[in-house]
Amino acid sequence: MNRFSNIKSDFLTKKDKSKKGMIDEQIKETVELINTMPDFFTTSSCSGRVILFVPGMKKTEFKTLFSSHESLSITAKNIIIKSIHPDISLRFEPLIIHIRCRTIEHTASLMRSCQKDGGLKKTSIISHGRKIILEIRSTDYLEMPIKTSGDLVIDPRKYSAIKKCVQNKFNKNKKRIKRLNSALISAIESASQR
């Protein structure tokens, strides 16, 4: 086995370090497809999620009040109404996958497949030094304030409209995952014919 294959094998046998401790069910097939390809392996992934959070001083600093990989729920509505926090925001984060790649040529080939055939135009190389990392990312990001300085920005009776908007984002995201899986299967098939 060569160096990349050893690194891949070591990485994929380690315990999942995410908070959840496992791959999101909605993206499991995608991750498995990528990891079957000899020149790639996933280093992190998220199938997409909605969160309610208390913003911090910096964009990366926030306190999560609610998180789901499926939809907004009545729990989220209750958090919005009953929370003692003066500021609450809602964010929908779409599909994101980080992939370590063997060479820049392999990376470019997979990137083209994801962008063109997978419809994920924001796919890009985010590291190309010692480690080459490709980021597959969808575009359906949404962030909005729900409560500012203790005042609700949105009437609680309009919660169903927000819920519908978020559900539409999840539905689009599922379609993108399906399209990405088809693109990955095509890439695997064409690589095996070489």
Q: Which two tokens stand for residue 67?
A: 């998180």
Q: What is the pLDDT of residues 52-80, one digit of tens each?
A: 999 987 777 889 999 999 988 888 888 88
Q: Is the dihedral of CA 128, 139, 66, 87 positive or negative?
A: positive
pLDDT at 177: 95
Q: What percent of the chain has pLDDT over 90?
A: 65
Using CA atoms, how far residue 180 sits from 31, 112, 120, 174, in Å, is: 11, 12, 8, 10
pLDDT at 187: 83
Average pLDDT over every residue of 35-44: 94
Residue 152: strand, helix, or coil: strand
> Distance between CA 35 and CA 134 in Å, rounded?
14
Beta strand pairing call for 40-46 and 132-137: unpaired
Binned at pLDDT 50, 70 and 90, residue 18 comes out as confident
- In the chain the domains, ranked by start, together with CATH numbers, are 18-192 (3.30.1960.10)
Is 47 in contact with 70 (CB distance < 8 Å)?
Answer: no
| Dihedral angle of Cα 136, 137, 138, 140, to the nearest 10 degrees | 170
